[in-house]
Amino acid sequence: MSKLILIRHGQSVWNKKNVFTGWVDVPLSREGVDEALKAGEQIAGIEFDVIFTSVQIRAIETAMIAMAANNSQKTPVVIHTEGKMAEWTTIYNDAMSRNVIPVYRDWHLNERYYGELQGKNKAETAEVYGEEQVHIWRRSYDVAPPAGECLKDTAERTIPFFTETILPQLQAGKNVLVSAHGNSLRSIVMHIDGLSEEEVLKLEIPTGVPLYFEYKDGVVKRAM
């Protein structure tokens, strides 16, 4: 039985400022750092074999900070695949190579793209467009904000990535940590839990709280 842990990144500086973030690459707030540390303490006893994050710094920070509390003696190492970083990050020691937890970054796990709302304060945006319209942009399944993605669009990139890249790791008996975002994880949980388009709209994924799943008998399900 292998384990899958999903973590939404800790509070970001724009979460704190109530600003639409999307693909803008902002870091964690001080509170977000604390959330990542607390999450790491909760999963400290799990020995991970592989880590996946989005390419956004708040998700990468969360994974690395959480792993600082892990009981494993292995080192999480970001895997680079292009240019000099791919060549010059080679580890020339067999013992240390075996002591690495590979960390893979992939844009398919990025937050939902909020288009022309990015950088705008949520409360001020509601004053301009009306609370009902902003609620539709934020919480409907297939209505996108101006020039942005709806949750359906996000699911069309996250779910194939889960089934084609993450699931085979679980099938191979590996424990997997995924550090990503509210909407990218909502779509993955929708797939795992078999939620309808209506049910997923009610799903809330808080920052910095681990979600526990297990792969057993060919099925990924929530851990009890």
Binding-site positions: 8-15, 21-22, 58, 111-114, 122, 138-139, 182-183
Structure tokens at 19: 């600003």
Q: Which residues make Cβ contacts (< 8 Å) with residue 123, sequence separation at least 6?
A: 18
**Shortest CA distance to 166 belongs to which of 176, 180, 154?**
176
Q: Which residues make Cβ contacts (< 8 Å) with residue 86, sequence separation at least 6?
A: 80
Distance CA 109, CA 184 (A): 6
Beta-carbon count within 10 A of 3 CB: 20
CA angle 87, 162, 198 (to 5 degrees): 145
Q: Which residues are annotated as a binding site for substrate?
A: 8-15, 21-22, 58, 111-114, 122, 138-139, 182-183
Chain-centroid distance of CA 25 in Å reads: 14
* Residues known to be catalytic: 9, 111
